[in-house]
Structure 1
Amino acid sequence: MLRKDRLFSVTGLFALSIFTSAFLLFMVQPLFSKIVLPSLGGASAVWITLMFVYQGLLLLGYGYAHALSHWVPQRLQIPLHLLLLIASFLMLPLAAHADLTLPETAHPILWLIKTALLGVGLPFFVLSATSPLIQHWFAHTPHGKNKNPYVLYAVSNFGSLLALLGYPLLLERFLPLSQQSDSWLGVYMIYALLLFVCGLTTHTLWRKTRVSEETKLTADPIKDKNLVPQVSKGRMFHWLLLALVPSSMLLGVTGYITTQITSLPLLWVVPLALYLCTFIFAFAEKQVLPPKLVRTLAGIGLVGVIAIVAMRQNYTDTAMLWHLGTFFFIALALHQILAEKKPAAKHLTGFYFIMSLGGVLGGAVNAIAAPLLFNNVYEYPLILAIAGILLWPYQRQYVTELYESKRLARGFGLFFDIAVPLTLFLLVPLPGHNLRVGKFALDFRDEQSLHLAIVATVLLALVSFQKPFRLAVGAALILAGGLFINTLSDSHTLTTRSFYSTYSVVFDSDKLAYKLLTLGTSATQGAQSIDPEHALRTTYFYNLDGADTKLPEDIYASDWASIGLGVGTIACLSPLPNKTTFIEIDPMVYELAHDSGYFTYLQDCPGQNPVIIGDGRAKLDNFAENSLGLIALDAFSGSSIPTHILTREAFEMYLTKLKPNGVIMVNISNRHINLLPLLTRQAKELGLVGMHRSPRPPKFSHWMMLSREKTSVAGLAEAGWEPLPEADMSLQPWTDSFATILPLLDSKWRDFVKADQARKKAEAKQ
């Protein structure tokens, strides 16, 4: 018989080993993603694809743990796993064996998967097997008898959550990339030592107790009614669905908010952190959030999200919070059901394997199938519908009980059966649109309209909960109403999708005077007037033209290069014919700008305007030295920032390509991040002088001009440009090994949006 203090130390050792492995597992995900991100221009699809790879490796790790614990003799399990642990050091440090050179392809998914496998594959595989394997070992020790090993799963998820939040808030902010990788390797060595001690302790306990595997099960099915003694194929399929839907929702909501709202990399972590919290709550010994309440909130949130999708009001803070909140409650509701149906410890590793398989299949829907099958982010609303179907049998809403007691729904049943769907169809999709029927126009694009619509939707949904048919018809009519309203609203002429994002060609909703290329629904990539007389003007989107720039003539006549294409507007920025070479990472953008027939800058602007497909910084490095008069950095999409083109090393390379009096022109327009202090600090360190043109409604375009020669930018003051502010020397410049956005977070864009809304209302009253 082991003493209690010895048993406590054994439990602590197992818990610490699982915690450390989970911490490393979820620390390496954003860390390796940041390593490969520059090669793909900062696209949110990088994170989604890598999440699929991580889920696949997790599945292999769980499968390996299941096979090792069930098909390999007990005395060989620990030595084999420790040998695999030693072999994993051959692939370290991270990305040491991966080729980070991006091939020229429209869909670099296979390249990214290969890079991830070579960069982190074996260490990630070993880490992913740790939690189920150690839980199985714990189940077969004297202290594990009649204990619930699923508590250790909550410890694992807590370690994962701590790493996921600690990376952007601490590690990324204070350490360069090389030191981040070294720190991870140091903790991995500590983990290896813990695993070795854990294996040695387990082996010693097994030898001393000599208790067979069957008598050492961690939970007795008779004593714990929550653990299912027998596992049928139907039950395993139910596990699969309950794991698949939250996994797909995780990637769906990540892709949706980063494509439709902002591609801020920090936001990639938020849905995954919420996802981990749902596991912590669901598999805790005591339920902190009652399942009935969670399912109520999940149902309300589901209807609200459907309304927001139909409204196309995706850029607001309210919409983002509603998406994330709904995802959390739906995932928690499904994971609580999954925890209720967990099996006895004999089937523990198989249970985790099926959970992981569901995660991989859910990830495959978003990362592999959706970009090939859909031209927009349709997988997200589809998986929402499936989540609603899964949750419906478990709905026992407090609201339903309230209405049953008051007999309100029964008394007005017929009225609500007609009124609810009709109201949802007509009113809910209105916010976010500027309707036009002939000369009649109504503007519903302010955020107050969104708030009212959400409140109305939720109230109507509450009335409908005990009427499944009414709720289903109402939800369907929300989407139908959105399609109907869209026919009276902005004229969408084309929607397409690539690995990097979704794109739409629309007509300007104010005066139908411009064709816009938008990323998602919120970020304008470029515009061109439909009036032939103004078709080559650049003032709509860029807020500047040749007269506004006031550069020396020799710069206008020199060759230019632009990192980022948009619709090719910069080709017309010079008043003199010259050669402007565009470098664009997404072939789809080139097709839209050159071959779609909607935009003509590349064909009609004077001079030569060739386009090179590839990473901007890498391709620009191939240009001859002292060959360019101007380099434009215009590769920012809404809020996505390819940080590698703004580092000190990148600017040093740009300066070698410029003529002595050449200019670097940077589009620093961003909804959430103020890049002006960073680039002012960067310019100070490199000895550059410059000016900036502040954003002004309705165009919001914010530009900087930097040069080694003061005379190159002196004329900009006449065109309304302002000197750069005093450099903040406490702000650390970005380098190839260090870049953090936290000190740069800014809300100035909201002020511009409010000013634009006030301007439109004032114009409407005139």
Structure 2
Amino acid sequence: MLGKVLLPWFGGGAAVWTVCLLFFQCALVGGYGYAALARGKPHAVLLAASLLCLPLRPSPADLSGPSLGILFTLARTAGAVYFLLAATSPLLQRWYSGGDPYRLYALSNFASLLALLTYPVLIEPWIPLRRQLDVWSGGYALFAILCAALAWTRRPAPRPLRPPLRFRASWFVFPACGSALLLATTNQMCQEVASLPFLWIAPLVLYLLSFIIVFDHPRWYRRRLYALLAAVAIPIACALYAAGGNLPLKAVLAADAAALFVCLIILHGELARSKPEPGLLGPFYLAIALGGAAGGGIVALLCPRLFRSYAEFPLLLSATAMLALIAWHRSGDLSRLRQMPLPSRASVAGLVMAALVPFTVFDAGSRPVLAASRNFFGVLRVTEARDAPGPRRLLTHGATTHGTQFLDARRRRYPTAYYGRASGIGIAIQSIRNHLRRPLRVGVVGLGAGTLAAYGEPGDVFRFYEIDPAVISLAHRYFTYIADSAARSSIEEGDARIRLREEAPGHFDLLAIDAFSSDSIPAHLLTAECSEIYRRHLAPEGRLLFHISNRSLNLEPVVRGLAEHLRYRPIRFDSAGDEALGTLSATWMELTPGQAHSDHSAAILWTDDFTSLWRVLK
């Protein structure tokens, strides 16, 4: 819920959710640590005091970077209430440790799973975000009152025992790897589709489900079975990772999800095998929380600085298999390898293969890499190609080409890729130029390689909006579209929606929306609220252009929904690629003032409160 509130404030990328998870994992550490020390009556007082933080009302924090901004916003909005909420599970299990507390742990995770599954089906589509925050605040108030009453009447719990060091290490390492793999898989999925609750929830559901299964009863985790499954799932996921964006989306998502689930069962299954007696619940849960926060921090903060790709995904798959082998060795199973039956030896061989296969996906590639960059907004590469139709440079984001430019002097001013003269954007620029017969004012949301500047003529004004500073740097350093353009071009760094909302009307004759990273869509740029911002910046006869080429999603109904909302006329343009001109097939939609008859059944209106992928998945 809070993650969705933050999306339009921080660019709508997958990293928004990654940093949100990191915050809640760190707050969980604090809650679990506090639970080990908490006493009933002081805890009741803190719960009562936390009601002063309600209702939740997030507001964006403008700090030096988006990651810090997200962390500070969440801490200011929900830090206190989540801190106390996180302490509840270990406190209750400590108070009721006379029974089987691990069934309570499984039940706690089941409740979280139920809430996750409920959100995209029963809550997100029907309840506005502000109302969601109010309802949640009311639910928390009820929880605080009930829990405070219970805490006030409980007797002090006995001091926990000191666990052996080897147990503490396993309690930390397995959750750390599981948490890191959760975030790495989520990043991998979202970079090719969109950063939306639907794709956030799916990996998290598998994460919680793995805890529920292995902590419900020891019989559910069978080492040999899951080792064999890992020997199949990990190589398949790595092969699809190496193939990039050239395979059907559903197959890639299914393979990633299968590998994630198998690995999580292994990691959390080994964790469950080392669980302590109820008297050590506090240290056990604290170690799990510390491991989860460490794994989240590695993926959210460290990996973007270490890697220039999402290399942590295959590496963590390999790490899972290695940790499983270490666990087998510590338990003495590997020392009995020769005496094992054939299926058991096959499972060990499968784990060895699963540990080694991920390293085969790293190669130099078929094209020279001039530059590579990874930051909060994703992975960028500039490469050179020498094959037909001639020497050229390419800018790719994830697995998707975002711009190309010929290197020879004769053709380097050609608009290429999705922006050729036969494309929807090329036709629209020429049409409005012929109609107005004066210099144009053009706004472009998304810079890419700066290809659209090739359409600039003397007197024109081209204003680009780009959120990723790395894109701006690469466009200036490795491509010459901006420098070669006859138009007066400028680049505004920052989220286009925020910048346009803050600026005076731009009186654009044409405003092109082309801000998609990889094949992922920043959904906050396709909502009814954002379309009103676009309209405010258009000249009286101005046109809106949306680039909707996408391997995974059919965005035409969404743009038609915006057209109906604005009372504009939608026109779809499909163009085929031409290798000789360096162009690719593209689909654009143009919205022009003037109501036209449209098929309402084909229109889907997204809003800031509701953006569903289900109806637009291909």
Number of the residue aligned with 1:532: 409
| Pair 1:615 & 2:531 matched | no
Query: Which residue of the other structure, out of 54, 57, 60, is the alignment partner of 1:100?
Result: 60
Asked if the contact 1:633/1:666 (under 8 Å) is kept, the reply is: yes
**C-alpha deviations, 1:296-344, integer Å up to 9, x for none?**
2124333444444445467543333222211211111121111111111
**C-alpha deviations, 1:164-183, integer Å up to 9, x for none?**
22222221122221122122
| Pair 1:734 & 2:606 matched | yes
Q: Distance in 1 between matches of 2:44 and 2:324?
A: 42
Q: Displacement, 1:54? A: 0.7
Query: Which residue of the other structure, out of 284, 288, 300, is the alignment partner of 1:367?
Result: 300
Q: Displacement, 1:610? A: 0.7
Q: Percent identity?
A: 32
Q: Displacement, 1:36? A: 0.9
Q: Displacement, 1:466? A: 7.7
**Aligned pairs (5 A) from 1:245-644:** 245-259=177-191, 263=195, 265-285=197-217, 287-312=219-244, 315-316=247-248, 317-394=250-327, 465=349, 471=353, 475=357, 478-479=360-361, 482-483=362-363, 486=365, 489-507=366-384, 511=388, 513=390, 514-520=392-398, 522-543=399-420, 544=423, 546-547=426-427, 549-553=429-433, 554=436, 557-574=439-456, 577-594=459-476, 596=477, 598-625=478-505, 627-644=507-524
Asked if the contact 1:560/1:631 (under 8 Å) is kept, the reply is: yes
Asked if the contact 2:109/2:209 (under 8 Å) is kept, the reply is: yes
Q: Displacement, 1:51? A: 0.9
Given the superposition, is the C-alpha separation of residues 519 and 477 from structure 1 closer, same or farther in structure 2, using an over 3 Å criterion? closer
Q: Displacement, 1:244? A: 1.0
Given the superposition, is the C-alpha separation of residues 650 and 555 from structure 1 closer, same or farther in structure 2, using an over 3 Å criterion? farther
Q: Distance in 2 between matches of 1:259 and 1:643?
A: 13
1:136 counterpart letter in structure 2: R
Q: Displacement, 1:586? A: 0.9
CA-atom RMSD in angstroms? 3.1
2:593 counterpart letter in structure 1: R
2:564 counterpart letter in structure 1: K
Q: Displacement, 1:574? A: 4.7
Task: Specify the SS of the correspondent of 1:660.
Answer: strand
Asked if the contact 2:228/2:347 (under 8 Å) is kept, the reply is: no
| Pair 1:81 & 2:43 matched | yes
**Aligned pairs (5 A) from 1:713-728:** 725-728=598-601
**C-alpha deviations, 1:364-388, integer Å up to 9, x for none?**
1111111223222233333333222
Q: Distance in 2 between matches of 1:62 and 1:297?
A: 33
Task: Specify the SS of the correspondent of 1:621.
Answer: helix
| Pair 1:40 & 2:10 matched | yes
**C-alpha deviations, 1:530-551, integer Å up to 9, x for none?**
3432222224223526456442
| Pair 1:131 & 2:89 matched | yes
Given the superposition, is the C-alpha separation of residues 675 and 256 from structure 1 closer, same or farther in structure 2, using an over 3 Å criterion? closer
**Aligned pairs (5 A) from 1:109-124:** 109-124=67-82
**C-alpha deviations, 1:359-416, integer Å up to 9, x for none?**
111111111111223222233333333222211145579xx99996599x9xxxxxxx
Larger Rg computed on CA atoms: 1
Q: Displacement, 1:606? A: 1.4
Task: Specify the SS of the correspondent of 1:561.
Answer: strand
**C-alpha deviations, 1:540-579, integer Å up to 9, x for none?**
2235264564423337622221121111112223566411
**C-alpha deviations, 1:28-47, integer Å up to 9, x for none?**
xxx10111110122111111
Q: Distance in 2 between matches of 1:66 and 1:555?
A: 74
| Pair 1:708 & 2:579 matched | no
Asked if the contact 1:660/1:709 (under 8 Å) is kept, the reply is: no
Q: Distance in 1 between matches of 2:466 and 2:550?
A: 19
Q: Distance in 1 between matches of 2:100 and 2:260?
A: 28
2:92 counterpart letter in structure 1: I
Asked if the contact 1:50/1:112 (under 8 Å) is kept, the reply is: yes
Given the superposition, is the C-alpha separation of residues 685 and 319 from structure 1 closer, same or farther in structure 2, using an over 3 Å criterion? closer
Number of the residue aligned with 2:173: 241
Number of the residue aligned with 1:417: none
Q: Displacement, 1:262? A: 5.7
Task: Specify the SS of the correspondent of 1:173.
Answer: coil
**C-alpha deviations, 1:49-77, integer Å up to 9, x for none?**
11111100000000000121xxxxxxxx2
Number of the residue aligned with 1:91: 53
Given the superposition, is the C-alpha separation of residues 573 and 171 from structure 1 closer, same or farther in structure 2, using an over 3 Å criterion? farther
2:606 counterpart letter in structure 1: W
1:284 counterpart letter in structure 2: D
Q: Displacement, 1:184? A: 1.6
**C-alpha deviations, 1:608-630, integer Å up to 9, x for none?**
11111111122123443363212
Q: Distance in 2 between matches of 1:378 and 1:550?
A: 43
Number of the residue aligned with 2:617: 746
1:606 counterpart letter in structure 2: A
1:49 counterpart letter in structure 2: V
Structure 2: stretches of 5+ with no match in the other structure: 579-583
Tell me the number of residue pairs that the alignment of Structure 1 and Structure 2 aligns.
600
Structure 1: stretches of 5+ with no match in the other structure: 1-30, 69-76, 140-144, 207-211, 218-228, 410-461, 711-722, 748-766
| Pair 1:194 & 2:79 matched | no
1:490 counterpart letter in structure 2: R
Q: Which 10-residue stretch deviates more, 301-310 or 164-173?
A: 301-310
1:702 counterpart letter in structure 2: T
Asked if the contact 2:53/2:81 (under 8 Å) is kept, the reply is: yes
TM-score normalised over the length of structure 1: 0.72
1:742 counterpart letter in structure 2: L
Number of the residue aligned with 1:671: 551
Asked if the contact 2:443/2:510 (under 8 Å) is kept, the reply is: yes
**C-alpha deviations, 1:95-117, integer Å up to 9, x for none?**
x2x541545x5x42212211110
Task: Specify the SS of the correspondent of 2:417.
Answer: helix
Number of the residue aligned with 1:750: none
Q: Displacement, 1:213? A: 4.7
Task: Specify the SS of the correspondent of 1:174.
Answer: coil
Given the superposition, is the C-alpha separation of residues 348 and 604 from structure 1 closer, same or farther in structure 2, using an over 3 Å criterion? same
Task: Specify the SS of the correspondent of 2:125.
Answer: helix
2:18 counterpart letter in structure 1: I
Number of the residue aligned with 1:74: none
TM-score normalised over the length of structure 2: 0.88
Q: Distance in 2 between matches of 1:405 and 1:742?
A: 46
